[in-house]
Amino acid sequence: MAAAQRIGRTLLRTALHAAPTVLGIVILNFFLLKLAPGDAADAIAAQDGSATAETMASLRHTWGLDNPTLVQLVTYLDNLAHFSLGTSPHWGVPVIDLIAQRLPGTLILMAVSLGIAIVIGLALGAVMANFAGRLPDRLISVVSLLFYSVPGFWIGLMLIVLFSVTLGWLPTGGAGAIGSRLTGLAAIVDKARYMILPATSLALFYVAIYARLTRASMLEVQSQDFVRTARAKGVSPLAVTVRHVLRNALIPITTLAGMHVGAMLGGAVVVETVYNWPGLGRLAFEAVMGRDSNVLLGILLFSSLLVIFANALVDLLHAWLDPRIGAHA
Partner 1 sequence: MSSTEIGSFGVEVERAETEARLGPSRPQPEPKWSNLHAPDARLACADAVVVRPGARELRLFVANPNALAGLLILAAVIVAALVAPVLFPGDPLAMTGQPLQWPGQSAGYPLGTDQLGRNVLAGIFHGARVSLVVGLVATALGLAIGVLVGAIAGYFGGWIDTLLVRVIEIFQTLPSFVLLVVLVFIAQPSAPTITLGIAIISWPQVARLTRAEFRAIREKDYVMAARSLGFGSARIIFGEILPNALPPLIVTSSVMVATAILMESALSFMGLGDPNVVSWGSMIGAGREVIRSAWYLTALPGLAIVLIVLSLNLIGDGLNDALNPRFAEDRR
* Min dist. Cβ of residue 2 to partner 1 (A): 30
Cα 207 to Cα 119, 202, 211, 323: the distances in Å are: 8, 9, 6, 29
Asked if 246 interacts with partner 1 (CB under 8 A), we say no
d(CA 14, CA 307): 13
Determine which residue in the list 85, 207, 253, 297 makes contact with partner 1, applying CB under 8 A: 297
* Min dist. Cβ of residue 289 to partner 1 (A): 7
For 269-285, the DSSP string reads: HHHHHHHT--SHHHHHH
Q: Which of residues 87-146 bind partner 1 (CB under 8 A)?
A: 132-133, 145-146
Determine which residue in the list 288, 314, 316, 325 makes contact with partner 1, applying CB under 8 A: 288
d(CA 267, CA 152): 7
Q: Which of residues 172-201 bind partner 1 (CB under 8 A)?
A: none
* Min dist. Cβ of residue 111 to partner 1 (A): 16
d(CA 309, CA 233): 43
* Min dist. Cβ of residue 24 to partner 1 (A): 4
Q: b/e map of 17-33 (b: 16 or more CB within 10 Å)? A: ebeeeeeebbeebbeeb
d(CA 167, CA 73): 54
d(CA 151, CA 54): 49
Stretch that binds partner 1, among 49-57, 63-71, 88-96, 150-158 (CB under 8 A): 150-158
d(CA 65, CA 44): 14
Asked if 160 interacts with partner 1 (CB under 8 A), we say yes
The count of chain residues that interact with partner 1, using the rule CB under 8 A, is 50
* Min dist. Cβ of residue 48 to partner 1 (A): 23
Determine which residue in the list 36, 44, 107, 123 makes contact with partner 1, applying CB under 8 A: 36
d(CA 201, CA 150): 10
d(CA 203, CA 196): 10
Determine which residue in the list 246, 269, 317, 319 makes contact with partner 1, applying CB under 8 A: 269
Contact 190, 101 (CB under 8 A): no
Strands annotated E in 94-235: none
* Min dist. Cβ of residue 150 to partner 1 (A): 5
Site string for partner 1, 205-234 (x = CB under 8 A): -----------x--x---------------
Asked if 8 interacts with partner 1 (CB under 8 A), we say no
Asked if 245 interacts with partner 1 (CB under 8 A), we say no
Contact 245, 221 (CB under 8 A): yes
Asked if 296 interacts with partner 1 (CB under 8 A), we say yes
Q: Which residues bind partner 1 (CB under 8 A)?
A: 20-21, 24-25, 28, 32, 35-37, 132-133, 145-146, 148-154, 157-158, 160-161, 165, 216, 219, 262-263, 265-267, 269-270, 273-274, 284-285, 288-289, 293, 296-297, 299-300, 303-304, 307-308, 311
